Amino acid sequence: MSASAVFVLDLKGKVFTEYFKELEEESIQDNFVVVYELLDELMDFGFPQTTDSKILQEYITQKGNKLEVAKTKVPTTVTNAVSWRSEGIKYKKNEVFIDVIESINVLVNANGSVMSSDIVGSIKLKTMLSGMPELRLGLNDRMLFALTGRDKGKSVAMEDVKFHQCVRLSRFESDRTISFIPPDGESELMSYRINTHVKPLIWIESVIEKFSHSRVEIMVKAKGQFKKQSVANNVEIHVPVPSDADSPKFKTSTGHAKYVPEKNLVVWSIKSFPGGKELLMRAHFGLPSVENHELEGRPPITVRFEIPYFTVSGIQVRYMKIIEKSGYQALPWVRYITQSGDYQLRTNS
């Protein structure tokens, strides 16, 4: 299946979910007329057309399982070049919220070497702006710095950059300016990938000891390998245990641990994990008297976390310019978040 076909299927799924909440066979059957009308608006001769669910809901409305099509007038967005935004939007207070979110994917082998790592990022907007504003976003983009002759020391090289349809691609390709008229409300402005060696932000060491096949003791040490002024929130460390383990007992220096028998896991939860700290968890389990197979396979330890006010790549929003013909003042707010993606550490024990 081609990349464009995958994109279209994903796009349709998101729009249908906005209408029906649950995208299942039954919901498709119950709302066949709505689905037909949506497909007619989404695609024209095989090409995506109006794709924003908020705009579609202006003239394709649903009441129960029936479709109502507005007959009074065609929304301005249908004939407007800016199909993702309606005209006449007004706010008492004009604001833009920018979230720079990066997910870290890491695979560490049993010897402690990083086998693979990358960063997947996205920039999400929540715009509450009146009229039809023009926005210009500036990042510490390495190619932009190269074009302008600036120092590359604090710049970031982004790959696989994908933009919302509102971004003027020709402008970006010519001078790396991210210029656009934004959708109203929440949207993902762009996504990117950074293929680089990433030092694991939370390092895990584990030791598993079995005693005469009657009990097993697990020691897990976690270390925050990020700057001390940062804090990882809602940390979860998932430690696999033998499938025949029972009678769990835990001792933790911070947080709490619980046994999840249906998944053969110990979940160590830490609400707040400061950078530079080392934390310890010990678990004791009984094992049945019958010897278990030694070769169960050893699933990796996985980690979940979120670190606010921090991006591991060093990407920064240098400026956000908001231009609107009425000349109003607007406030941009920027928030940075780093979180775990596919974060796995394999063990010898």
Tell me the per-residue pLDDT of 241-282, one tens digit each, with 9 for 90 and over: 988 888 999 999 999 999 999 999 999 999 999 999 999 999
188 and 324 share one domain: yes
Provide mean pLDDT across the span 69-85. 57
- pLDDT at position 119 over 60: yes
100 and 181 share one domain: yes
- pLDDT at position 9 over 80: no
Under the banding of pLDDT at 50, 70 and 90, the label for residue 51 is: low
Rounded CA separation 277/21 (Å): 43
248 contact partners, CB below 8 Å, separation of at least 6? 259, 266, 283, 284, 285
216 and 285 share one domain: yes
Residue 290 lies in a domain: yes
210 and 194 share one domain: no
- pLDDT at position 195 over 70: yes
> CB of 252 within 8 A of CB of 211?
no
Q: Give percent of the chain with pLDDT exceeding 90.
A: 56
Residue 90 lies in a domain: no
CATH number at residue 240: 2.60.40.1170
| CA triple 187-106-116, angle to 5 deg | 115
> How confident is the model at residue 208, as a pLDDT?
85
243 and 186 share one domain: no
104 and 119 share one domain: yes
Residue 87 lies in a domain: no
170 and 189 share one domain: yes
> How confident is the model at residue 82, as a pLDDT?
84
Provide mean pLDDT across the span 232-249. 93
- pLDDT at position 40 over 90: no
225 and 292 share one domain: yes
Provide mean pLDDT across the span 191-200. 92
Residue 84 lies in a domain: no
Domain boundaries, position 17: 3-79
160 and 286 share one domain: no
Provide mean pLDDT across the span 194-218. 88
The number of domains in the chain is 3
Residue 135 lies in a domain: yes
238 and 325 share one domain: no
Amino acid of residue 235: V
Under the banding of pLDDT at 50, 70 and 90, the label for residue 20 is: low
| CA triple 220-312-138, angle to 5 deg | 160
302 and 253 share one domain: yes
> How confident is the model at residue 245, as a pLDDT?
87
Residue 294 lies in a domain: yes
Under the banding of pLDDT at 50, 70 and 90, the label for residue 297 is: low
